[in-house]
A = this chain, B = another copy of it.
Amino acid sequence: MYNKGISKAVINRLPRYHRYLGMLMDKGVVRISSAGLSRQMNVTASQIRQDLNLFGGFGQQGYGYNVAHLYDEIGKILGLDREYHLIVIGAGRLARAVGSYVGFQKRGFNVEAFFDRDPRKHLDDFDDSIKVYPLDSLAGYLKDHKTDIAVIAVPSDAAKQLVPILDKGGVKGIWNFARTDLQVPDHMTVQSVYLSESLMQLSYKINH
């Protein structure tokens, strides 16, 4: 519904709008002007109006934006008004950290299983309903459990081999933490977090 003609840059800004609106709600702010939001976010007011107009505006001349309403609307645009079934592939430090970050802090994103070559790995604070399954049981699991998102936190080579299995199993999106650019078919989507590249950007900035 919303995707036509919306640039990647705008889409990348939406979660940030959502974050700031959430903070304003926490502070009890009921409404805010594009100018007010602009001061908070270091984005120009016209940029904000432009971005939000793409989604039908939500603002009223002279009134500004209703914070809670805008927060909800952007949440809907971002797909935060539904539930997601998640699995985490890998049960190492990073996999467990990301899995529990999502499982305990992100409403609607339900972590339901981990997969690892070594299913004896410990999940720390997850309750017993969430287990580490052997990696070779992944295809079978996906047959029986509708899964929307797979978090990948395994080495690069292993990560690439997972894509066809996830595709066949009906997984729609991959949240990739492996240090590789995963190629996925058009009906799938991948969002990567490259920790190593982020650290290199920091070291570059420190030195220049």
Chain A residues with a Cβ under 8 A of chain B: 1-3, 11-12, 14-16, 18-19, 42, 77-80, 82, 84, 93-94, 96-98, 100-102, 105-106, 109, 124, 148-149, 172-175, 179, 181, 189-191, 193-208
Contacts and interface: CB of A to CB of B under 8 A. Distances in A.
Given A18-B200, A94-B101, A148-B206, 10 more contacts: A1-B208, A12-B201, A15-B196, A93-B101, A93-B124, A94-B97, A102-B199, A149-B202, A172-B206, A189-B206
Contacts of A2: 208
A39 to B, nearest CB: 13
Nearest to A84: B203
A96 to B, nearest CB: 7
Nearest to A75: B200
Contacts of A194: 15-16
Nearest to A171: B206
Contact of A204 (B79, B181, B197): B79
Contacts of A84: 203, 206
A178 to B, nearest CB: 11
Nearest to A8: B201
A189 B190 CA distance: 29
Given A172-B206, A205-B191, A206-B149, A200 B14 contact: yes
The 10 closest A-B CB pairs, nearest first, are A97-B97, A3-B208, A15-B197, A191-B202, A79-B203, A79-B207, A15-B200, A189-B205, A93-B97, A173-B206
Contact of A198 (B105, B124, B175, B202): B175
B195 A101 contact: yes
Given A78-B203, A204-B77, A207-B79, A197 B16 contact: yes
B179 A202 contact: no
A12 to B, nearest CB: 7
A199 B175 contact: yes
Contacts of A1: 208
